[in-house]
Amino acid sequence: MEKWRLIPFKHFDPFENMAIDEAIFRADRQGEMPPTLRLYGWKKPAVSMGYFQNAEREINCEYCRDRGIDIVRRPTGGLAVLHGNDLTYSLVAGENSPHFSSDIIETYRIISECIISGLDKSGVKAEMVEKGRIERGPAGAFCFATSYRNELLVDGKKVCGSAQVRARDMFLQHGSLLIDFDPAAVCAAIMTKGMKAGTLEASVTSIRKSVGDNVGIGTLCRNIAAGFEEVLNIHLIEGSLSPEEETLRNGLLENKYRNVRWNMGRGAKSGY
Amino acid sequence: MSFPNDLLYSREHTWVRVDGDTATVGITDYAQDKLGEILSVELFPEDSSIEQGEPFGVIESLKVTTELISPVSGEIISVNEDLADDVGILNSDSYDTGWMIAVDIRDLGELDNLLNAEEYVDYVEEYEEVD
């Protein structure tokens, strides 16, 4: 049975979280490391936005600053997420791994199946969006306001948002699984183009809404990991960053993710 | 899908049109098809020095964000400003009006690392079979 690495759940600040994920993604250029699943939380509420988003136009920066909500730009695309009450995962693997594919939508589908299996073990019945929107909707900058094909719904409402970056035959997928959802806080922190909290509440749900407080974060993490093991027929072995990844993480943290030019400016043009 | 015979192709799915020491670079029909609807592109600015096999920008589609890998080394002498107005031409006309950058080639010998149309078609077919 193929062995993958699992980096177990821990809380970090937003800059550390992105630096760790990108370090894992960048370090393995030769495909020598096994695919890596990392589960993590956020030390305090934070907004992550997609690579191409514009902080000034799409995030309420003043609101975030006043409340100590850090804003970080992800290496992955997609739209903004307010973290704090979510379980975030990152998955790094090769496009040519036997489990995945250069077909991007198919990769989303396979990962969604793993999450569905993990949620099922937690008593949450999730399903995949079979014919989701295939174009960006009118709902502004908030990730959960739009459901794309192969994303996850519970009771017809979105519960998990995801985004990918690819480079040189490797991919990094980010996903945020909502444990709790505060639509008013989202509307305050992220520009939702006039979409009110009540409207968001009608289209977004959370694990707590589905099964109450019955599932702790530890159990949820174990179940999600087990979902990946079952669906992909793999064995996840707990591990940590390699020395090369540690070095990369430290460099990315100081030079990129703690740098206001990366987070509030734009990516490639800023020379990163 | 079309792969014009007068172009060279990289394994990272860019095309190159060579005219003397200048290379015009864009993404192939295969790349735009795989990416789906392209939403944004960010290219290194004019005068940037780029290396074969290293990034020269980032592209975002509805599905994914992907690094653009340069097929040649050299200096960027021109960037297609039309993409800022209508990034959709990368999907509709990737070989012509959807060009991305023009590069002053540093080492013409590097072109030997690229594929002709026939080789690229074989490469893409092989790539698909791996899936």
pLDDT at A191: 87
* Amino acid letter, A238: E
Q: How far is A67 from chain B (nearest CA, A)?
A: 30
For residue range A125-168, list pLDDT tens digits in order. 999 887 554 444 445 667 766 666 678 899 888 899 999 999 88
**Residue A208, exposed/middle/buried by CB under 10 A (0-12, 13-18, 19+)?**
middle
Window 129-148 of A, Cβ < 8 Å to B: 134-136, 148
What mean pLDDT value characterizes chain B?
93
* CB-based contact A20:A249 (threshold 8 Å): yes
Distance from CA of B108 to the nearest CA of A (A): 23
pLDDT of amino acid A49: 94
- Asked if residues A88 and A17 have their Cβ atoms less than 8 Å apart, the reply is yes
Span A169-194, average pLDDT? 90
Report pTM. 0.87
Percent of chain A scored above 90 by pLDDT?
66
Instruction: Note the pLDDT of residue B8.
Output: 98
**What pLDDT, on the 0 to 100 scale, is given for residue A130?**
73
* Residue ranges with strand state E in chain A: 2-12, 36-42, 46-49, 70-73, 81-83, 86-94, 126-128, 152-154, 157-167, 170-178, 234-238
Mean pLDDT to the nearest integer, A40-56: 94
Residue ranges and CATH numbers for the domains of chain A are 2-270 (3.30.930.10)
pLDDT for residue A146: 64
Edge-to-edge strand ranges of the sheet holding A46-49: A70-73, A46-49, A81-83
Q: Taking residues A36-55, report their average pLDDT.
A: 95
Nearest to B66 among A148, A165, A266 (CB): A165
CA distance to partner chain B, nearest, from residue A54 (Å): 12
Q: What is the mean pLDDT of the segment spanning A63-74? A: 96
User: Does A221 have pLDDT greater than 50?
Assistant: yes
- Residue B129 pLDDT grade (very low, low, confident, very high; cuts 50, 70, 90): low
The pLDDT, as a whole number, for residue A136 is 44
Q: What is the pLDDT of residue A255?
A: 95
Q: How far apart are CA B19 and CA B108, in angstroms?
A: 11
| Sign, CA torsion A244/A242/A92/B11 | positive
Is pLDDT at A114 greater than 70 in this prediction? yes
pLDDT band at residue A101 under the 50/70/90 scheme:
confident
Determine the average pLDDT of the residues in A168-180.
93
CB A22 within 8 A of CB A51: no
ipTM for the predicted complex: 0.77
| Interface with chain B: mutation pick from A99, A102, A170, A173, highest number of B CBs within 10 Å | A102
The predicted structure's pLDDT at residue B49: 97
Give the tens place of pLDDT for each residue, A251-272. 999 999 999 999 998 643 333 3
How far is Cα B117 from Cα B92, in angstroms, rounded to an integer?
A: 20
In sign, the C-alpha dihedral spanning B73, B76, B81, B84 is positive
**Nearest CA among A219, A230, A58, A33 for reference residue A124:** A219
Quote the CA–CA distance of A88 and A46 in Å, as a whole number. Answer: 12
Q: What is the average pLDDT across B64-70?
A: 93
In single-letter form, the type of residue at position B77 comes to I
DSSP-derived 3-state class of residue A61:
helix
Say yes or no for a CB contact (<8 Å) between B36 and A167.
Answer: no
With contacts defined as CB-CB under 8 Å, which chain B residues touch A163?
A: 64-65
State pLDDT tens for residues A16-33: 999 999 999 999 766 678
**Chain A residue with minimum CA distance to B12:** A168
Share of chain A above pLDDT 70, in %: 90
Selection from A186, A262, A220, A251 nearest residue A40 by Cα:
A220
Evaluate if residue A195 carries a pLDDT over 50. Answer: yes
> Which range, of A68-72, B30-34, B71-75, averages the lowest pLDDT?
B30-34
Q: What is the pLDDT of residue A30?
A: 62
**pLDDT for position A190:** 92
| Residue ranges covered by each domain of chain B | 8-124
CATH architecture type of domain B8-124 = Beta Barrel (2.40)
